[in-house]
Amino acid sequence: MENLIKDIHLDLPLPTNEVKSFLVRGTYFYYHYKCDGTNDVGWGCGYRTLQTICSWIKEQLNHQKLDSIPEIECRILHCRNISELQKHFSDIKDHFVQYGSPVMMGGDRDCSSKGILGISETDESIFLLILDPHFTGHPKYSEKLQNDGWIKWQNIDELHPSSFL
């Protein structure tokens, strides 16, 4: 689609005092509310995050067909609190090392879906690179979307506690 931005995270600075980071590898497109003319505000965030993940798969496979279910296996991690999320740092890191695909995260105060494009460890905390599908405009520049927080590094300690209910 011509109004979708590719690889929106590029040129976004890493968190301050970054020790190690693991990021999405390969090309994907940023799907967000209303990006195809469908008014999905309020209900489409999960679909848009899934479209972003599917765009990565499509680009990686170079439009090849998937032959079997095991080729598209997924894993679900349920975290009841920030402490449990911190314990899964190595699982998330390993995902980016092995596969490099975007990850879907549900929750937060608004129970909304978001894409995770990376994980970073600093001297003091862990950050997730969050891609928010709730944008409703017509994006033209990654830099503006980065400045407005539609793609951002977020300290996991700043996630709302209701994210884990």
Say how many residues make up the chain: 165
CA atoms of 31 and 133, how far apart (whole Å): 6
Task: Pick the catalytic residue from 67, 134, 148, 160.
Answer: 134
Structural contact between residues 126 and 133, judged by C-beta atoms closer than 8 angstroms: no
Give me the residues paired with residue 30 across strands: 5
For this structure, is 45 an active site residue? yes
CA atoms of 162 and 76, how far apart (whole Å): 18
For this structure, is 160 an active site residue? no
Task: Pick the catalytic residue from 123, 132, 138, 160.
Answer: 132
Residues 6+ apart with CB under 8 A from 158: none
For this structure, is 134 an active site residue? yes
Task: Pick the catalytic residue from 9, 32, 40, 45.
Answer: 45
- Positions marked active-site: 45, 132, 134
